[in-house]
Amino acid sequence: MKPSLATRIGALKLDNPVLMASGTFGYGDEITDLVSVGKLGGIITKTITLQPRPGNPPPRICEVTGGMINAIGLQNIGAERFLQEKLPALRALQVNIIVSIAGNSVEEYVRLAHQLDGVRGIAGIELNLSCPNLQKKIISQDPKLVRAIVAAVSKASRVPVIAKLSPQVTDIVAMAEIAMTAGATAVSLINTFPAMAIDIATRKPKIAFVTGGLSGPAIKPMAVRAVWEVYRALKAPIIGGGGIMTAEDAVEFLLAGASAVSVGTANFIDPGVPEKIVSGLRSYMERYGIINIKELVGSVRC
């Protein structure tokens, strides 16, 4: 029997568990020359905000061992222009589109949710909760805000709402539980880790914003742990991601409890990675006689 990679995130059916992570393929203009996006389980767009944002001053990225640090600053053309100019081309790719949104307040998230509601081609919403709030902490470090935003957006949306959480919290399980009880369909674990690099020749930070988010293979073990902890405690639907470069990496996340995986930084190094992961998952299943990918989810033997 041919292995089935079909899975779901709540009501959202995916042909396979491989998603392209937010912020890693622009608006899809360039990537389609190199990637058969239609073969993926889905794509998560660059985070859009109500108003366009120019992003942070350069330098915005630097490489570190096993990964990179970024402080792009949510540069985006704004919700209006995204819907007019970018969404139509994305729809033509015939792939599940999950739109990532961010705001400075509960109201902004809700307004975005309303703007996206009922728009053809939008299969889900991912909440980017890593923006600094007024207290200078990031939203997903604040339980009250997480609850308020997830509840309000879930109420305003007819599509699945996924809460993307930062790992920089004392208890990721508690945060995930708040998101799920507030109405999230799933949690996306995890966003980048706060990090910093210093140029010892200039004695300045390597990125202008000083700190940024660490991504890439360096964070994979910490991401796998977060997925495992949350799945073990809550058995919630999880999109797992953090340093996935290969199908083997993806399997680790599935075994830890993720129903789907998101591939981000790897796209910069090899745009063909997501497709390779889909076929690699199929090979793994064939090798171990696994009929349905859902058998793997959370099946790590502890």
Beta bridge partners, 196, equal 211
What is the smallest separation between the CB atom of 49 and another protein, expressed in angstroms? 14
Give the nearer residue to another protein in terms of CB position, either 29 or 107.
29
DSSP class of residue 201 equals: T
Distance, CA of 10 to CA of 162 (rounded, Å): 10
What is the smallest separation between the CB atom of 269 and another protein, expressed in angstroms? 6
Kindly state whether residue 199 participates in binding another protein, applying the rule CB under 8 A: no
| Contacts (CB under 8 A) with another protein, residues 247-266 | 265
| Selected binder of another protein within 23, 242, 274, 280 (CB under 8 A) | 23
| Contacts (CB under 8 A) with another protein, residues 38-67 | 54-67
Kindly state whether residue 231 participates in binding another protein, applying the rule CB under 8 A: no
Number of residues that bind another protein (CB under 8 A): 33
How far is the CA of 169 from the CAs of 102, 141, 172, 191, 283, in angstroms?
Answer: 19, 6, 6, 11, 36
Q: Other C-beta atoms within 10 Å of 200: how many?
A: 7
With CB under 8 A as the contact rule, which of the stretches 3-11, 21-29, 85-93, 247-255 interacts with another protein? 21-29
| Selected binder of another protein within 25, 82, 231, 284 (CB under 8 A) | 25
Distance, CA of 16 to CA of 6 (rounded, Å): 5
Long-range contacts of 229-232 (CB under 8 A, 24+ apart): 229/172, 229/173, 230/172, 230/173, 230/176, 230/187, 230/189, 230/257, 231/256, 231/257, 231/258, 231/298, 232/257, 232/298
What is the smallest separation between the CB atom of 17 and another protein, expressed in angstroms? 22
Torsion sign, CA atoms 200, 202, 206, 211: positive
Assign 56 to helix, strand or coil. coil
Token pair 């975005």 is found at 112
Distance, CA of 156 to CA of 136 (rounded, Å): 27
Kindly state whether residue 202 participates in binding another protein, applying the rule CB under 8 A: no
| Selected binder of another protein within 7, 267, 285, 297 (CB under 8 A) | 267
Phi then psi dihedrals of residue 152, to 5 deg: -65, -40
Q: Other C-beta atoms within 10 Å of 239: how many?
A: 28
| Contacts (CB under 8 A) with another protein, residues 75-94 | 75
Give the nearer residue to another protein in terms of CB position, either 11 or 34.
34
| Selected binder of another protein within 133, 225, 268, 276 (CB under 8 A) | 268
Which among 131, 148, 196, 222 is annotated as catalytic? 131
Burial of 75 (0-12, 13-18, 19+ CB in 10 A): middle
Note if 302 is an active site residue: no
Give the nearer residue to another protein in terms of CB position, either 207 or 224.
207
| Selected binder of another protein within 11, 26, 80, 248 (CB under 8 A) | 26
Give the nearer residue to another protein in terms of CB position, either 227 or 245.
245
With CB under 8 A as the contact rule, which of the stretches 11-19, 23-31, 78-86, 190-198 interacts with another protein? 23-31
Footprint on this chain of another protein (rule: CB under 8 A):
23-26, 29-31, 54-68, 70, 72, 75, 216-217, 265, 267-271
Active site residues: 131
